[in-house]
Amino acid sequence: MPFSDLINRFFGKEQPQPQNSPSKNVAKERLQLVLVHDRSDVSEKMMENLREDLIAVINKYMEIDQKSLDVSFSREDGAVALIANIPIVRIKR
């Protein structure tokens, strides 16, 4: 036990909890994500239109599984991203 720990014990100071990420980072990330939705006022209708347009464009080049297509917002590396998961059935030649 290092000497500083002894001193801390003596003064009754709690040991710092080992944590992966301070809770304020969690707060900030959650806020940024929720604000993307709040700010853009993204309606269900708009997301649906986006989905349909995406399908129309991609369909020109490849056959996709339209039922499993998923479009959503996500946070990646400090920025907000639009993530589209589009399973491909077959490439058109």
- The count of other CB atoms within 10 Å of the CB of residue 93 is 4
- Decide: is 42 part of the binding site for other proteins (CB under 8 A): no
Site size for other proteins, by CB under 8 A?
Answer: 19
- Decide: is 31 part of the binding site for other proteins (CB under 8 A): yes
CA 50 – CA 15 distance, rounded (Å)? 51
Given 1, 14, 20, 22, the residue binding other proteins (CB under 8 A)? 22
- Decide: is 14 part of the binding site for other proteins (CB under 8 A): no
Given 20, 23, 43, 85, the residue binding other proteins (CB under 8 A)? 23
- Decide: is 38 part of the binding site for other proteins (CB under 8 A): yes
CA distances from 89 to 37, 59, 61, 77, 79 (A): 31, 11, 11, 30, 30
Alpha-helical segments (H) within the chain: 3-10, 23-40, 44-59
Task: By CB under 8 A, name the binding residues for other proteins.
Answer: 3-4, 7-8, 11, 13, 22-25, 27-28, 30-32, 34-35, 38-39
